[in-house]
Amino acid sequence: MTVTLDGKSLTVAETVAVARRDATVTVADGARERVRAARERVEDVTAAGEPVYGLNTGFGELVDTRIPADRVRDLQTNLLRSHAAGGGDDLPRELVRATMVTRVNALAKGYSGVREAVVDHLVALLNAGVHPVVPSRGSLGASGDLAPLAHLALVLVGEGEADLERDDGGVERLDGEAALA
């Protein structure tokens, strides 16, 4: 079974098919166009020198602190690191897969401004049987998903840990960099 994400029509049954039965994931062309268009808007605004909260500014009381363009990547990586907190048992693979597919579907709406490569890498991880290690306890803030999503994203920048499902049925724990290889 193949589940094509368009940001609009993902069903519970499709989520379960990806999470439990390893359905293949693809992204619809229209969703890709929305992701690219949103990213272009972000790039246009930042190229014009406009402040974008949390992208090229500090957070909270540091909202008026501008981050130099050559430090924005560091800010974003450090944000992931700071939010990737937690402990307890690792979430089961099917919950991580469900989180990944619903996150890709949310990104497919085209509202976030992420690069298309983020979507592609998450889909590639899902389809390759690679699952970031996400602790079951320790989320931050009212949204409740910052810590789990930070653990997902750390693997995308070559950090954190992920489990790889091997062909022999075993699972191998990898560091984030190896998970991307």
The residues that are catalytic are 53
b/e string for 38-71 if b means 16 or more Cβ within 10 A? bbeebeeebeeeeeeeeebbeeeeeeeeebeeee
Q: What is the number of other CB atoms lying within 10 angstroms of the CB of residue 72?
A: 15
How far apart CA 21 and CA 6 sit, in angstroms, is: 20
At residue 87, the 3 state secondary structure works out as strand
Instruction: Tell me if 106 sits within 8 A of 7, measured CB to CB.
Output: yes
Count of alpha carbons within 13 angstroms of residue 122, beta-carbon side: 28
